[in-house]
Structure 1
Amino acid sequence: MEGDVWAVGAAYEPYIGRWSRAVAAEFVRRLEVAPAARWLDIGCGTGAVSQAVLDAGRPAEVVGADASEAYVRYARRRIADPRAHFVAGDAGALPFPGAVADVAVSGLVLNFLPDPVRAVAELARVTRPGGTVGAYVWDYAEGMQLIRCFWDAAVALDPRARELDEGTRFPLCRPDRLRALFTGAGLAGVRVEAIDVPTRFRDFDEYWTPFLGGQGPAPGYAMSLPQDRRAALRMRLRAVVPHAADGSIPLSARAWAVRGRRGGVRTPGG
């Protein structure tokens, strides 16, 4: 594998997008931002956080930015709300002036960035004094069960797969690391908490098929395998994932959410 692929919205949605939306809704609710705020959604992807802000945050505006032009186009097509705008932008050098947003957030992105320290500094820079900066990432090491089951099965068949396992690759996705990241950016009142959502699949095929979409480390690994080894991985997974009496697969997903406040006087809606 040459790198993590995140570009095709239609493939991302059945794999992670639907679960990300559930976490995003709870994430936005817990931020408790006053109505009529201006939000920036950095690394907006297919627009899960932006849509949650529109649904529950009662914003004046939400602007999503993503390095992938394909994701920006997908989000524009998917979210037809005059309060929402989507632009191409690098999280490490955001195309916005300083102190323009009441809230700057990022969902499921920080661990994939080459310089998360720079990205959080940028989130703080574009936020007004007193405003909120927040993010969430999956708990790859333990709580994101649909991916955890995959890598446990993959490593049992191919120990070299451990190098690709997000639980190994992304030590940032832990409460202590996230707290240190936000505190190091000069943010005040930093809090980290878990957000858990159910991820129930009606049967094994619904669980397995998204791994064939090639979006992200686990699907990328699955599709890099020769057909016989991919079939062996499928059989191993089918044997080890939990099954309910009706054939469904009851799993859950945990994200770690972190938030802080930019120092200074709080602005209205911030």
Structure 2
Amino acid sequence: MKVYISADMEGVTGLVDAEDVQPPGRDYERGRGMMTEDVNAATRGAFAAGAAAVLVNDAHGPMRNLLPDLLDPRALLIKGRPKPMGMIEGLDSSYDAVLCVGFHARAGVLGVLSHSFMGHEIEDIWLDDQVTGEIGLFEATASAYGVPVVLLTGDDTACAEAVAWNSSIRTVPVKYAKDRFAAQLVPVAEARSAIEAGAREALRSLPSAVGAGARTLSVRWQSASVVSHLTAIPGVARRDDRTVTVTADMPQLYRLFNLFLRVATAVTSNPPYC
């Protein structure tokens, strides 16, 4: 069994603030260690369930957050950016399951560090007219490869979003949102134990994942300038001054969306969480 782990940071055990998850935040270095240990817990669970190989993709921000010297040595690591497929880099149909560690809720909902990819720059995302965020886009792309997302860890809001998108996803809440930068924390040892057990149990009975054909992605940006640049990409249409839409198969949409992010980053200078 081959297992793929995508590791984000906002949903990691104990982390609640931009200072915890963004360099050069005063607690960022500690946050890196917390992130690595959450991934290690999921990795232990994967191998306990019979995994023969585990690939970890560092999927947060600069994508060089995980500490290789502290990472379970049985896991392989993809680190750094740019990566054409971003948070899902390295995943293909040879994998049997995906574990999402440290994920967060979409923009506009009251979850810990909630946003969609670019802080406040992306206001909304729709996939086939269904509002979504990072979780939904990730799950839809993995399913298009025929690989099920079987576990997601994060705050309770992210966990609820995952189950609403696909009820077969097992979730492990490691904190309970009180506001966007505040949470009631699950004790660290208890959270790590729950992640390990959740991964182990989720991998013992794998659901099927069948991807759809062509799908339509729409993204509403804060800046009309971003839209004016994105419409230069063949196939991308303007729905209104701040919204673009494009139709393609899901892996191509995800790859194209990562191009959107690079264009938007070049056009704007707004930091996330403003």
Same fold (TM over 0.5): no
Q: Which has the higher contact order (CA 8 A, sep 6+)?
A: 1
TM-score by length of 2: 0.39
Calculate the TM-score normalised by the size of structure 1.
Answer: 0.39
Larger radius of gyration: 1
